[in-house]
A and B are shown apart, each in its own frame.
Chain A
Amino acid sequence: MKEQRGVCFFAYNNDQLDYVELAIIAAKYVKKHLKLPVCLITNEGSESWLEESKPKKLINESFDYIVITNDEMKQNRRRHFDSPWTSFTAQFNNSNKHKIYEYSPFEQTLLLDIDYIVKTDTLLKYFDSEHPVCMFDNALTVRNELPAERERALYDAGIKMWWSTVIYFDRSDFSKLFFDTWAHIADNYAFYQYLYNFPSKLFRTDYCVSIAVHMLGGMQDNQTHIGNFDNSSLVNMSQKDDIIETHGLDEWILIAHDQKEDWKNILVNSDNQDIHIMNKRALARVVPDLLEYFNEGT
């Protein structure tokens, strides 16, 4: 018998980023604001590193379940930014994300990326939603601007982009169909890239879910089976933005760049706002502070 409600994170380390450490932070925020059990889905190597690098107590406090997978990952080099001025590339292991339907120990699951920090209880209400699957279909930058064109549609005249950063799903037949469709698209990625004309060699699960939504919606944009979190926006702190300071757990001061003129920044006070920290190095830099706040209970 599966536990009713919970949150899952995938975390596979690479030579540049300690995903399991970031998963600890994301899990602790989930525990604080959503008060739900958390499952970490990882591989043997990342789990060994987690046990070696973090105290047992912290791991147990953060994760109620750990699922070890041994899926073969596609070669997928991703260019990351850390501010407009620094970049690095690293292997991005995401080709088994659709298997969450199989791996999740919960009847109703919220799958979050490890860089999605939950600072409100807003997502809780979607466990009572009438939609079997929910994802964001629009996003805003922390400056409340629309993201780049290619993150709104798969190409200039293409289908709408849906984000796989936050996925709510239940165990209905429709949810199974959705993940099976996603698996099919992932298996035939080159064909769908040709058909839907989306760019880059990077394997993006956002593209897979966008196409799955389009197909299951009868190739129309106005489908109603998949919820979009009541039209609210995914708030993205871009890879070119940074976290300047944390005032306790929930109030962060960010520096947000201008998309057209990188050097023009404004400060943003991010408080009471769920936020997608796409600059993972920025998040990693504040991990010690955040762990200290969690210890102090502030």
Chain B
Amino acid sequence: MDERLEKALEFSNYALTINNQKRNIRNRVAQLQIVHHLGGVFVANHETISFIKTLIDLKHKSSVVIDSKNNPITVKSLKDLLEKLVDAYTSATTEFDIENEKLKKARNIKKIMDW
């Protein structure tokens, strides 16, 4: 086989493998960002965290908040929800960072597989 083609195919296979691993990590992070609170389902992302913090800054202690399934949830303590959201966000992003760093250093399939 032409060496140029061999190298191109090798890189193509590497790209396919690393992209798949990246998708695995993103799926895992998305799961870690889900927070169940008082029967509601919230996603610990920038938008939710900022919104809950805004309500707290405006001196609200409790509020009805629409969850990610479009259901109204009476949140008795916005502070408790904010803590849960920030915890979930932090553990998700920490895991994301660790796994992402590992992948960034992996220059071949063997390294991606941790062999």
- Are A and B a genuine interacting pair, yes or no? yes
**Which A residues have a C-beta under 8 Å from some C-beta of B?**
120, 122, 125, 128-130, 140, 142-144, 224, 230, 232-233, 235, 247, 251, 253, 266-270, 272-273
B17 contacts A267, C-beta separation under 8 Å: yes
**Contacting pair B20 A130 (CB below 8 A):** no
User: Which residues does chain B contribute within 8 Å of A125, judged by CB atoms?
Assistant: 34, 36
Tell me whether chain B's interface is mostly helix, strand or loop, or mixed: helix
Indicate which residue in A122, A232, A253 contacts B113 across the interface (CB closer than 8 Å). A253
Contact check, A144 vs B23: say whether CB atoms are below 8 A apart. Answer: yes
Q: Which A residues touch B20, using CB under 8 A?
A: 142-144, 266, 268
- Choose among B24, B31, B109, B114 the residue that contacts A232 (Cβ–Cβ < 8 A): B31
| Residues A266 and B13 in contact, CB atoms below 8 Å apart | yes
Inter-chain CA distance A292–B17, complex, in Å, is: 29
Number of A-B contacts (CB under 8 A): 53
Q: Does B28 contact A (CB under 8 A)?
A: yes
- Across the interface, do A233 and B34 meet the contact criterion of CB distance under 8 Å? no
**Chain A: which residue is nearest B115 at the CB level?**
A253
Chain B contacts with A in 1-57, Cβ cutoff 8 A: 13, 16-17, 20-21, 23-24, 27-28, 30-31, 34, 36, 39, 41
**Among B21, B31, B36, which residue has its beta carbon within 8 angstroms of that of A268?**
B21
B112 at the A interface (CB under 8 A): yes
Contact partner of B28 (CB less than 8 A), chosen from A143, A268, A272, is A272
Contacting residues, chain B, for A251 (C-beta < 8 A): 114
* B21 contact set on A, CB distance < 8 A: 268-269
Closest 9 CB pairs of A and B: A130-B39, A144-B23, A230-B34, A269-B113, A266-B17, A125-B36, A253-B113, A122-B31, A266-B16
A-B contact pairs, 15 of them (CB 8 A): A120-B28, A128-B36, A129-B36, A130-B39, A144-B27, A224-B69, A230-B31, A230-B34, A232-B27, A235-B27, A266-B16, A267-B109, A267-B113, A273-B24, A273-B28
Distance to closest chain A CB from B11 (angstroms): 13
Report how far A267 CA is from B110 CA in the complex, Å. Answer: 9
- In the bound complex, CA of A76 to CA of B24 (Å): 35
* Chain A residues within an 8 Å CB radius of B31: 120, 122, 230, 232
Contact (A233, B27) CB under 8 Å given A251-B114, A269-B112: yes
Chain B residues in 8 Å Cβ range of A143? 20
In the complex, which residues of chain B have a beta carbon less than 8 angstroms from the beta carbon of A267?
A: 17, 109, 112-113
Q: Which residue of A lies closest to B95 (CB)?
A: A272
Contacts of A128 in B (CB 8 A): 36
Alpha-carbon distance A104/B77, docked complex (angstroms): 36
For A142, the chain B residues whose CB sits under 8 A away are 20
Q: How far is the CA of A128 from the CA of B41 in the complex (A)?
A: 11
Q: Which of chain A's residues has its CB closest to B41's CB?
A: A230
**Chain A residue at smallest Cβ distance from B40:** A130
Closest to A145 in B: B20
A sample of 11 more A-B contacts (CB under 8 A), given A122-B31, A230-B41, is A125-B34, A128-B36, A130-B39, A224-B69, A230-B68, A232-B30, A267-B109, A267-B112, A267-B113, A272-B95, A273-B27
